[in-house]
Amino acid sequence: FLISDAPSLESWYQAKKKIYKSFNFSRRRKGSFFEVVDLKKEKKKDRIFSRLLQDKIKDALEKKLSVMLFVSRRGYASFLLCSDCGEVIRCPNCNIGLSFHLKREMICHYCGFRTVAPSVCPFCGGRNLKKIGWGTQRVENEVKKRFPGARVKRFDLDIFKSSTYLIPDYIKKREVDILVGTQLLIKEDILSLVGVVGVMLVDVLLNLPDFRASERTFQLLTRIRKGSRGKNSVIVQTYNPTHYVLNAKSNEDFYSRELKIRKQLGYPPYQRWVRILIEGKRKDQVKDKSEEILNKIKKEGFNFLGPSPCPLSKIKGSYRYHIILRDTKGKNMQEFIREIDPLARRSSIKIGIDVDPLSTM
């Protein structure tokens, strides 16, 4: 049995084709009220906290109800950007923007690299370094400024690693008024206890460079709505209020739209994908090995994408390229994988093969 308020798109598709048998439970939990706020219409000073969200928080606090604010990133800001030359301060091991934390610390959340935030741009010497994006620390600080009488607590992996089971007790004992955190907070036993949930900026999730970004965002919002058991208000802040994920009236509405898009693009579940991931310490060797694998792919007559750098092109000092095999139905994949395996054994390059990949990051 697969039981879910928001199943994977593949499961939904199989149910529609009668390969899976689906059941609708008659006593479904009522979802909470869901409101979308267009941040483009807000005054600049209110773009972290829209007027609606501020009003909802104030009302909840007056009624002695707790508030949850969901932020998708840790730290104070997503990265530092030089407004003079446009460069971003990146991790030397991962080629990913370092997150800015309080006490001027820059941290990579992939490899753990830490350094002090520069006062001048290391690329051009400019002094106009801007903090871009919102992290849990920044939202926590803003909450304390706007609601000085509230008891605010931050819950993320920087300070709260393994004791999430204690969070409901904080709420029940009235030890916290406003919870600020990441997906650690998206649990039914927590959601059911709060009066208001604010999704601070859903665009971060919607715009991830992964073909499942919309699906995962819909699943997350569904978990938030259903987990509330109809007891709280959910405020979703965005710069793109017309996005179909935010306007879906039902599962059927979202999945039908997403399946149509996937079919047009030749994405799963309409084509079966196999992802070949090539990783190594030297970029030239990774590119060469990718081309070597590509030659074998062409000989087999596969439909493919790439090779190209992964969206996360370097992690922990390893460069990452990938090739996507499309429409592998009818192909002898086991034989092809056996042919690729010796290519990895003869070099320091790591080759991974992911059938039906859950992510292309």
Same-domain status, 220 and 154: yes
| Residue 118 belongs to some domain of the structure | yes
Same-domain status, 204 and 189: yes
Backbone angles phi, psi at 304, to 5 degrees: -145, 165
Amino acid at position 46, single letter: D
Token digits of residue 86 = 């446009």
Among 263, 296, 315, the domain-final residue is: 263
Among 263, 282, 313, the domain-final residue is: 263
End-to-end CA distance of the chain: 29
User: Do the beta carbons of residue 230 and residue 29 sit within 8 Å?
Assistant: yes
| Residue 14 belongs to some domain of the structure | no
Same-domain status, 209 and 176: yes
Same-domain status, 121 and 140: no
Same-domain status, 248 and 330: no
The b/e string for 43-78 (b: 16+ C-beta within 10 A; e otherwise) is eeebebbbebbbebbeebbeeebbbbbbbbbbbbbb
Measured CA angle at 282 (ends 276, 286), to 5 deg: 25
H or E segment at 148? none
Residue 107 belongs to domain with CATH number:
2.30.30
DSSP per residue, 287-316:
HHHHHHHHHHHHHHT-EEEEEEEEEEEEET
Domain span at residue 191?
A: 32-74+134-263
Model confidence, pTM: 0.89
Using CA atoms, how far residue 212 sits from 39, 118, 185, 205, 266, in Å, is 24, 35, 22, 10, 13
The rounded distance, in Å, linking the Cα atoms of 297 and 122 is 42
Q: What is the domain count for the chain?
A: 3
- pLDDT tens, residue order, the chain (361 aa): 566 777 788 888 887 776 666 655 545 555 555 899 999 999 877 678 999 999 999 999 999 999 999 999 999 999 999 999 999 999 999 989 999 999 999 999 999 999 999 999 999 999 999 999 889 999 999 999 999 999 999 988 877 665 677 888 888 888 999 999 999 899 999 999 999 999 999 999 999 999 999 999 999 999 998 887 666 799 999 999 999 999 998 888 999 999 999 999 999 999 889 999 999 999 999 999 999 999 988 988 888 999 999 999 999 999 999 999 987 666 677 777 777 777 766 678 999 989 899 999 9
